[in-house]
Structure formats: C-alpha cells, structure tokens
Copies of this chain bind each other. A is one copy, B any other.
Amino acid sequence: MQLVSANRVHEGEHRQYSHESNSNQCTMRFALFLPPSLSTRKAKTPVLLWLSGLTCSDENFMQKSGALALAAELGWAILAPDTSPRGEHVPDDPDNAWDFGKGAGFYLNATQAPWSQNYQMYDYLIKDLIALIKAHFNKLDVCAISGHSMGGHGALTIGLKHPDLFKSISAFSPIVNPINVPWGVKAFSNYLGADRCSWLQYDACELLKNVTHHVPILIDQGADDSFLTEQLKPENLVKVALQKDYALRVDMHPGYDHSYYFVSSFINKHLLFHDQHQQT
C-alpha cells in the first residue's frame, strides 16, 4: 500500500493510497478520510464506504460532497474507492463511452471476455479493499455503505448482500433496478452476458425481494433529475419494499438534479442516519 497524497482537512486527514488488487489484476487507488478523533478514541472508528457514480474516481466525493466537516465532528472515517479497474492494460469501451468500461465498473464481477480479467469490482471491494483496511488500520470498522447513482446501485446491492458488514445503507439517486434500465442493460449484457438470470444478483429490487435481514435504507432523490424516469426508477424499489414491509425511506426533493450539488445538500442527513444506526 503506497501513500499517494495527504492533506489535512477539518483537523483530520485526507489520504490517497494505491495498491495492487488481486481481484482486478491492476493497481487501484482509493481515498480515505480519517477524523481527528481517530488517535484518541478507544472504541473503533466507524467507516462509511462511499461508492461513486459513472465517470467518477476516488476524488469526486472527497472534493465535492462537503461531507468532511460533519464526518470530522461525528468521528467518522470515509473510504472512497475508484469506480472501475484502471491502467493501460485494462480493456475499455471501444467507443470510449462514459457509461461503460473504465469509470463504470458497476460494482460486479464480470464473467465475459475481455472484461472478466479486470472488472471484478465486487470482489475488489469485499475481498481486497475491506481486508486491506482491516490489515492496516485496526481501529477502523467499515460498517456503513452509501453511494451516488451507479454507486447507489453498488451501495444497495452490496449492502443488502452483507448485513454482516453493514448496519445501515443509504444512496443518492441510485440505479435501483439495473436489469430494467438502459445503463444497466448495457453494462450487464457486456459484463455478464446474455443470460439474464446471472444479472439478478446485482439488482437491488431482485435482492430486496429475498432478503431476510432488514438493514435500514435511506434514499434521497432529486425530483428534477434528468435520469429519474429512464434510468433510476426508485418507485420500483419502493414497490418491493412495501410488499416486504421493509424499512426503506425514500425522500424526493423538488428542483434538485443528479449533480454533486444535490449530494452536498443532503450528505449531512446521510451521515447522521448512519451515525444513529451505528449506535443502536
């Protein structure tokens, strides 16, 4: 694990690290915010795993969310990985599309050539990154998950699969039903192949139908988000949650769009949500 950069911020520290990922077969970079209380706190410091959206890297959330002030105050660390494998040897979309390939790993394990060798983002997070954090920071506890858009899809699916790890799940503007929207169909067709049965394990609506543990979920969604009706469809998740009597809260916000201006407006609400569910 190599330290790439370090900045003091809100009396805590923002760091970037690079490391070799076994799962992705490439060098990965991630960002880690450490709150000022880390060194003095006796209990473990909770960590929010943040998954970013299409085109993003480990940098967008740390620079644009405005989350670090309250995270510092509450004593939360934040872990922000990249959104896909990286490197010249890693295959990319032949047309350089922004919604597939590099910057668009969709937090799944690809099974189709040429993607399967590097696009193993699900394993990267669960097997490589969380283990790396445990090994290097014994006072950190990755216990909550959140994300934006494609990262909201990642937070919901990974959070629902791992109640052992995550006590609370939240998302901004998530892709909740990728098997039924263009972004998801494009990515899953390429990464996972034509057999739609293999897609179900990465679809939040499908996963929610079968969960037994009820980890609380908070979703915020801009009502003026240009991707709302075609790509995001939060109502599909609400429908399943109602059938299951699942503790899902979805708040719609008139006037807000899909940008980080929206995320920054409500990120403190999400930090407080995770903090409350950590303590209970």
Contacts and interface: CB of A to CB of B under 8 A. Distances in A.
Nearest to A254: B8
A8 B257 contact: yes
Interface of A, secondary structure class, is mixed
A264 B70 CA distance: 12
A259 B256 CA distance: 28
A261 B5 CA distance: 12
Contacts of A246: none
Interface in A247-262: 253, 255-257, 259-262
B69 A255 contact: no
Q: Please give the count of copies of this chain that the complex contains.
A: 2
Contacts of A261: 7-9, 14, 68
A262 B224 contact: no
Interface string A239-280: 000000000000001011101111011001000000000000
A139 interface: no
Given A9-B262, A69-B268, 18 more contacts: A7-B259, A8-B222, A8-B224, A8-B253, A8-B256, A8-B257, A8-B261, A8-B262, A8-B265, A9-B264, A10-B264, A10-B265, A63-B64, A63-B260, A64-B64, A66-B66, A68-B261, A69-B265
